[in-house]
Amino acid sequence: MNEKPIVIYTDHEINRTLCYNFAKGSNSLMCHVNNFKDFDKSIATYGYSRGTGEVIKKVKNFIYMDHGYFRQSKRKFAGDKVQIIDLDGYFRIVKNNFWHDGSGTKPSDRFNKLSIDIKDIKKKGDYIILSEPVLEATNFYNLHNWKENTIKKIKKYSDRKIILHNRTSEVKLDDLLKNAWAFVSDHSSAGLKAMLEGIPAYFTNPTLSNIGSIENIEKHEINYNVFNNLAYGQWTLKEIESGEAWENLL
- 182-237 pLDDT, tens digit per residue, is 999 999 999 999 999 999 999 999 999 999 999 999 999 999 999 999 999 999 99
Query: C-alpha 250: how far from its chain's center?
Result: 21
How many residues are listed for the chain in this entry? 250
pLDDT over 80 at 86, yes or no: no
Closest CA to 239 of 71, 8, 4, 1: 71
CA 197 to chain centre: 18
pTM over 0.85: yes
> Is residue 80 predicted with pLDDT exceeding 60?
no
* Domains in the chain with CATH codes: 6-101+234-247 (no CATH), 127-223 (3.40.50.2000)
How many C-beta atoms surround the C-beta of residue 87 within 10 A? 15
Amino acid 84: pLDDT = 65
Per-residue pLDDT at 78 exceeds 80: no
> Is residue 133 packed enough to be buried (19+ CB in 10 Å), middle (13-18) or exposed (0-12)?
buried
Mean pLDDT over 56-64 rounds to: 97
Q: How far apart are CA 81 and CA 226, in angstroms?
A: 29
E-assigned strand segments in 40-126: 43-46, 62-67, 75-78, 81-84, 90-95
pLDDT value at 79 more than 60: no
